[in-house]
Amino acid sequence: MKLYRFSQYINEAKKAKPEMDQVGQEDTDINNDKKVDKTDKYLKTRRDARAEAIEARLKIKKFRDQLEPEEAPKKKARKKPKKK
């Protein structure tokens, strides 16, 4: 009897699966839980911050590539600890 209820619950859960937004038709519900709340705002802010960080890295890399090799900052050699 319990196994029947469990399988019935699984079948209902599969039918109630949330649908994803179609490509190019995204909305403000980022996590697709059928409601717009603070978690969507958090995810949007986080994605925007990551996008800005990636853009900044690319700008720095592009700037370093434009420098001539002798002008480019060199990495310091890391000293290995002495064995006792």
Q: pLDDT tens digits for 34-61?
A: 889 999 999 999 999 999 999 999 999 8
Task: Provide the pLDDT for residue 46.
Answer: 95
More confidently predicted of 77 and 27: 27
Where along the chain do its domains lie?
A: 35-68
Residue 69 has a pLDDT of 61
Predicted confidence at residue 2, as pLDDT, reads: 61
Residue 10 burial (10 A CB sphere; 0-12, 13-18, 19+): exposed
DSSP H helical ranges for 1-84: 2-15, 38-66
Question: Could you tell me which residue, 59 or 71, shows the higher pLDDT?
Answer: 59
Whole-number pLDDT of residue 29: 85
**Cα–Cα distance list, 2 to 5, 6, 16 (Å):** 5, 6, 21
Q: pTM of the full predicted structure? A: 0.52
